[in-house]
Amino acid sequence: MSKTILKIEDLNVSYSKKVVLKEVNAQIYEGELVSILGPSGCGKTTLLNTIAGFIKPKIGSIRFSDFSDNNDIELGFVFQNSILYDEISVYKNIYLSLINSFNQYYSTYLDSYLQTNSIDQKKYDELKLLLKESLNNQKVKKHFRLKLFLINFALFFKKNKTYFQFFKTLNSAIKNRIFDVATRLNIKDILSMKAANLSGGQRQRVAIAKSLIKDVKLILLDEPFASLDAKIKESSRDW
């Protein structure tokens, strides 16, 4: 049986005195693609914003997997109107999403350690476990970062060549991941363009790439395929 990734219980949301969502109950499993259907103004976007933590429910709860609430899990959110950093390139927009994703960035970080023999398998397994524990514990997260600092400090002074090889490998892994996502969404040829110069469809694909690059357990999409052609829609859904 698939693991429950999201559970909504007796959710009620109101604006002023108007009830927008009433007694919403839902359970979503890992690997599912779920659509929310309804007429304009029925509360679809409000529900997504509440799941994301932008709106606090009046009554009810939203729980994610093994986490206690939506402050403890990393989500992807693609808005109906794409939100990008207009003055930087498409590549940098996607890059910033990846490095700001704690789990994805540091998973890549640890993999690069192992590939360059900066650490052994035992240390790698120990750090992977610590990374998992740090996702919903700030103290563990600080401890995790301290361990990485000490490893890098030792590498710099004792294994200088390995230190620089590690960062070269890390940067290459990040670049390859960005190119992989960009290829799937057919935006590889616009990676060097400023986001301000993109068409509506291109902006939407970049916004989707910013969520997909993080490899999160849950991505919320508010009509994200409206500006995409059929081929790109199918490719994005298959991801």
Residues 43 and 147 in one domain: no
Per the structure, the complete domain to which residue 30 belongs is given by 1-73
Distance CA 108, CA 99 (A): 10
Q: Which tokens hold the place of 21?
A: 């969502």
Report the share of the chain in percent with pLDDT over 70.
Answer: 89
Confidence tier at 230 by pLDDT (50, 70, 90) = low
State how many domains the chain has: 2
Q: What is the pLDDT of residue 71?
A: 47
Residues 37/224, Cβ–Cβ less than 8 Å: no
Residue 137 domain-assigned? yes
DSSP category for residue 68: S
Q: Which tokens hold the place of 211?
A: 């969520």
Domain of residue 12, CATH code: 3.40.50.300
Q: Which tokens hold the place of 163?
A: 């230190």
Strands 219-221 and 76-78: parallel
Report pLDDT digits (tens) over 45-104. Answer: 888 888 888 888 888 888 887 554 444 567 788 876 778 999 999 999 999 999 999 999
Distance CA 66, CA 53 (A): 17
Distance CA 45, CA 221 (A): 9
Distance CA 145, CA 134 (A): 10
Q: What is the pLDDT of residue 122?
A: 96
Domain ends where: 25, 46, 73? 73
DSSP 3-state assignment of 194? Answer: strand
